[in-house]
Structure formats: C-alpha cells, structure tokens
C-alpha cells in the first residue's frame, strides 16, 4: 500500500464541480466545490475548476501547500461531455503530471455512487441530464445525454430554455406579464425586449439552468405545471429505454432529482430509491479502481 498516495473523486458538470479527497485507503479527508468543469464549457476551464476544487480540498484537510502534490494523486473524474472524443483527448493532454487518471462520464460515476456497482438505473438531473443502467457485469448502458440545446431532457438547462419563452411572450403581449414572467425577467436582469435579447445572445446551458428554480417555485402556474409534467414523462421514457423489464431499482440523482420525483409517472414510483452516494463519491471509487489497476494499491 502506497500510503503517500491520495485518491480524488471529481464530479464535473455545467454548474459546478464537487471534489472528494481520500487517502490511499479511500477514507474521506475532505470535500470541496468549485466552478463548472463540464467539457462543453471548455477544457482549459474544466482543469482550472478541478485544480481549484482540489486545492480547496487539500486546504480543508489541513495541507497548506498552494498546489496539490499531483504526482501523488490518482484522479477519478466523472465529467459531462466526455462522449465527445475530441474534448476528452484534449482534457487528457492538458492534465498535470498525475500518478493516475481515470475519466468516465458523470453518468457512470453517478451509477457507481447510487447503486454501489449493483444492478440499477440512474437518471441524473442537473444542468444537463443523462440516464444509465448497470447490468452487474461491468457494462454501462446510456440513454439521453445528447447535450444542450437539443437533448438533456428534464434538465435545468432544458427547463430554462423553455421557461424563457414565457417571458419573451409576456414582453410582447402574447402571454400575461404575471408573477412567473416577472420572476424570470428579474433573474436575467431584463427590463424590456432589447435587454432580454442581449441576455439570450450570451446565455449558455449554465445560464439557462439558473432559471429552473424559478419554474419549481411557480409549480402551480399553468405554464410551469405543464413543463414539470412533461419533464416527469421524459424521465419515465429514459427509465423505460434502459429497463424494459421494469425490474431494476431507479435512483433519481443530481440537483433536480429530488424536486422532480413526484412528477415521474405513477407506474415508476414504487421502484424509486434514494441513491446510496453521489457522483463525487462514485468518482472516488473510480480513482480507487484506477489505483488498484496501476498496482499503486492492493485490489
């Protein structure tokens, strides 16, 4: 056992990055958070966020060095956007000199955390969305996750992209300038058509996802209620695609997993389970597996 080794789990999405720092035994030393590290926002930005989060985790663990000892670190990264091979290659190329690096989709690390490697389905609902299922033999099957703006159904960005339509229509009289429209316009800092257009021209998935809490806060509004019902139906379609036998337990994960639970169709409700752990802790398991594969720790 290399007792000088650190294992680090990274959960990186379009809204933020969560870091779990562990020792060579996988025992947790600290947790930290930083800015977005989903690869769709840029590889350089991703590494900046990861390095900032790792530095904060080491600080919280009582290690005062400004730069983590990368040569003694094995990183397990669960990141949004790794299905784009060019982004993934660039991410690996820009890595610091590490003891080990394993990179998988955030769906895979969410699955590891939620079911502990056992059979099950996860639907991860955050800035983006993706679903995955484990068959108990190391295979991970994916549904959804095609990315913003065409995919990521029931995600924060999906909600925001649709909710802002209500504000647009309220500004020119196609819809009432009601409490929902006013809350959306206040969030984006728009007072009129021109200022809303300015926001729309610069908005990315993170900006759109920031509108999802407003939809949830106005759940009884007819427009919001329609979106929430449709989101629940989309979650159901993801579950059915991965488990047509209707036998596996299902964990709703991510920031919207809890809020959307009641909107998932009734036929799935009995199978819903709370996740055992989150994606960052699943990524820590990934780091431990990589360290064992490299012979740095015992399997």
Give the pLDDT confidence score for residue 119 in this predicted structure.
85
* Burial of 249 from C-beta contacts in 10 A (0-12 / 13-18 / 19+): middle
Q: How far apart are CA 257 and CA 268, in angstroms?
A: 14
For residue 132, the cross-strand partners are: 122, 142
Tokens standing for 44?
């350089």
Mean pLDDT estimate for the chain: 92
Q: pLDDT (tens digit, 9 = 90+) per residue, 73-112?
A: 999 999 988 889 999 999 999 999 999 999 998 888 988 8
Give the pLDDT confidence score for residue 3 in this predicted structure.
64
Residue whose entry in the numeric block shows the structure tokens 């020119």 = 172
Give the pLDDT confidence score for residue 211 in this predicted structure.
97
Give the pLDDT confidence score for residue 285 in this predicted structure.
92
Length of the chain: 299
Please tell me the pTM assigned to this model: 0.77
Q: What is the CATH number of domain 6-116+277-293?
A: 3.30.420.40
Q: pLDDT (tens digit, 9 = 90+) per residue, 259-269?
A: 999 999 999 99
Give the pLDDT confidence score for residue 135 in this predicted structure.
65
Whether 6-116+277-293 and 156-273 share one fold: the answer is yes
Q: How far apart are CA 157 and CA 146, in angstroms?
A: 13
Q: pLDDT (tens digit, 9 = 90+) per residue, 121-165?
A: 999 999 889 999 976 555 788 999 888 899 999 999 999 999 999
Residue of higher predicted confidence among 188 and 115? 188
Which CATH superfamily includes the segment(s) 156-273?
ATPase, nucleotide binding domain (3.30.420.40)
Give the pLDDT confidence score for residue 298 in this predicted structure.
82
Q: pLDDT (tens digit, 9 = 90+) per residue, 28-75?
A: 999 999 999 989 889 999 999 999 999 999 999 988 666 788 999 999
Q: pLDDT (tens digit, 9 = 90+) per residue, 185-206?
A: 999 999 999 999 999 999 999 8
Domain spans of the chain?
Answer: 6-116+277-293, 156-273
């Amino acid at each position: 056992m290399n007792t000088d080794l650190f294992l680090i789990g990274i959960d990186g999405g379009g809204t933020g990055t969560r870091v779990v720092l562990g020792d060579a035994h996988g025992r947790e030393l600290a947790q930290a958070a930083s800015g977005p590290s989903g690869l769709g926002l840029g590889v350089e930005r991703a590494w900046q966020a990861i390095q900032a989060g790792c530095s904060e985790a080491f600080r919280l663990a009582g290690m005062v060095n400004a730069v983590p000892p990368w040569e003694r670190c094995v990183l397990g990264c669960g990141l949004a956007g790794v299905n784009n091979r060019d982004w993934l290659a660039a991410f690996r190329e820009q890595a610091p000199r590490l003891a080990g690096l394993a990179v998988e989709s955030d769906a895979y690390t969410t699955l590891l955390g939620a079911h502990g490697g056992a059979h099950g389905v996860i639907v991860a609902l955050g800035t983006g969305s993706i679903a995955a299922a484990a068959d108990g033999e190391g295979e991970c099957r994916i549904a959804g996750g095609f990315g913003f703006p065409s995919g990521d159904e029931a995600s924060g960005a999906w909600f925001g992209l649709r909710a802002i339509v209500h504000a647009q229509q309220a500004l020119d009289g196609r819809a009432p300038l009601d409490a929902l429209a006013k809350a959306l316009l206040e969030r984006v800092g728009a007072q009129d058509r021109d200022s809303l257009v300015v926001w729309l021209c610069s908005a990315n998935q993170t900006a759109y996802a920031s509108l999802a809490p407003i939809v949830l806060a106005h759940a009884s509004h007819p427009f919001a209620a329609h979106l929430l019902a449709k989101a629940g139906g989309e979650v159901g379609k993801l579950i059915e695609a991965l488990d047509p036998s209707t036998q596996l337990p299902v964990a709703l994960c991510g920031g919207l997993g809890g809020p959307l639970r009641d909107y998932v169709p009734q036929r799935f409700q009995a199978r819903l389970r709370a996740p055992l752990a989150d994606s960052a802790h699943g990524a820590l398991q990934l780091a431990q597996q990589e360290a064992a594969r490299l012979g740095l720790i015992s399997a």
